[in-house]
């Protein structure tokens, strides 16, 4: 796969309620097109925006671990495990470990933006577990400042958020100066440019670009001003058959 840059126009699209909520999807469902298919334990990734306040009605999930990262504004979430609506605001994170089954609904207020990311644990184990749900406020996640780079660890050392899925690290960077991100040979790094623009490996990257690095072990980003970058590192090999791999047998 090497280094790939997928612009917003090349990503899959979706919407709810007649366009009241719109999505671009770095990793969409197979039927939705787009340039990227599930890889490693990353099964689905959508950026959703509320054009007006609107609710995605109650619907079921099993097996997957589903994370929502509130990038802007306010949302509310309901699930049948807690049986109550819970508010989340910019910077907050929720996790649904769907296990043997859970139903949930969510409401995005006007101009709110979230990432919803599904990761694929070993379904032979998680499908027999009871579902669980947690939410975390922004200040629960450790943050460090190194010169012009702020680094917030969303999953990894010091973060309270844990997954059953094979090791994953998620970091959000806010930078006004050069950022270098290192990874191991056995890892894949996926980046989403939340805002701003800059240069990567001699190429311009800008808002809503999705970047996948498989062979490169060091990525150096020079921002044009300020950038907000969301990074996920996953293993090249999960050690188990993912849902996408199982489904491919019957495609």
Q: What is the 3-state secondary structure (H, E, C) of 128-174?
A: CCCCEEEEECHHHCCEEEECCEEEEEEECCCCCCCCCCCCEEEEEEE
The per-residue pLDDT for range 102-122, each reduced to its tens digit, is: 999 999 999 999 999 999 999
Percent with pLDDT over 90 in the chain: 86
Question: Do 134 and 161 form a contact (C-beta atoms < 8 A)?
Answer: yes
Q: Which helix (H) or strand (E) holds 184?
A: none
pLDDT value at residue 250: 40
Tell which phi-psi region holds residue 48, choosing left (phi > 0), alpha (psi between -120 and 50) or beta. Answer: beta
Question: Do 228 and 47 form a contact (C-beta atoms < 8 A)?
Answer: no
What pTM was estimated for this model as a whole? Answer: 0.95
Mean pLDDT of 205-214: 97
Go through the chain and tell me how many residues it has: 251
pLDDT value at residue 221: 97
Q: How far apart are CA 229 and CA 196, in angstroms?
A: 9
Superfamily name and number for 4-248: Jelly Rolls (2.60.120.10)
pLDDT value at residue 249: 53
Q: How far apart are CA 233 and CA 167, in angstroms?
A: 9
Question: Do 172 and 152 form a contact (C-beta atoms < 8 A)?
Answer: yes
Q: How confident is the model at residue 248 (pLDDT cuts 50, 70, 90)?
A: low
Q: How confident is the model at residue 32 (pLDDT cuts 50, 70, 90)?
A: confident
Pick from 160, 115, 189: nearest CA to 200: 189
- Mean pLDDT score of the chain: 93
Query: Quick one: three-class SS letters along 76-122?
Result: EEEECCCCEEEEEECCCEEEEECCCCEEEEEEECCCCEEEEEEECCC
The per-residue pLDDT for range 152-204, each reduced to its tens digit, is: 999 999 999 999 998 999 999 999 999 999 999 999 999 999 999 999 989 99
Q: Which helix (H) or strand (E) holds 123?
A: helix 123-126
Pick from 92, 93, 91, 41: nearest CA to 67: 93
Mean pLDDT of 76-105: 93
Pick from 65, 207, 192: nearest CA to 131: 65
pLDDT value at residue 1: 45
> Between vectors from CA 170 to CA 190 and to CA 72, what angle results, nearest 5°?
95
Residue 214 reports pLDDT greater than 60 = yes
Pick from 49, 54, 52: nearest CA to 70: 49
């Amino acid at each position: 796969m090497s280094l790939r840059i997928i612009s917003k126009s090349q990503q899959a699209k979706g919407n709810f309620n007649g366009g009241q909520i719109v999505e671009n999807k770095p990793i969409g469902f197979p039927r939705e097109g787009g340039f990227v298919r599930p890889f490693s334990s990353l099964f689905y990734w959508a950026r959703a925006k509320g054009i007006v306040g609107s609710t995605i009605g109650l619907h079921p999930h099993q097996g997957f671990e589903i994370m929502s990262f509130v990038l802007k504004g306010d949302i509310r979430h309901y699930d049948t495990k807690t049986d109550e609506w819970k508010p989340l605001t910019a910077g907050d994170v929720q996790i649904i470990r769907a296990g043997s089954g859970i139903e949930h609904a969510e409401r995005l207020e006007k101009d709110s933006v979230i990432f919803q990311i599904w990761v694929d644990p070993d379904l032979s184990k998680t499908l027999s577990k009871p579902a669980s749900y947690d939410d975390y406020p922004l200040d629960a996640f450790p943050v460090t400042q190194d010169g012009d780079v702020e680094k917030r660890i969303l999953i990894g050392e010091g973060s309270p958020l844990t997954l059953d899925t094979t090791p994953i690290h998620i970091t959000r960077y806010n930078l006004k100066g050069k950022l270098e991100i290192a990874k191991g040979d056995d890892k894949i790094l996926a980046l989403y440019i939340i805002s701003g623009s800059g240069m990567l490996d001699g190429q311009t990257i800008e808002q809503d670009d999705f970047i996948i690095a498989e062979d490169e072990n060091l990525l150096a980003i020079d921002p044009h001003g300020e950038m907000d970058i969301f990074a996920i590192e996953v293993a090249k090999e999960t050690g188990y058959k993912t849902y996408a791999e199982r489904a491919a047998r019957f495609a």
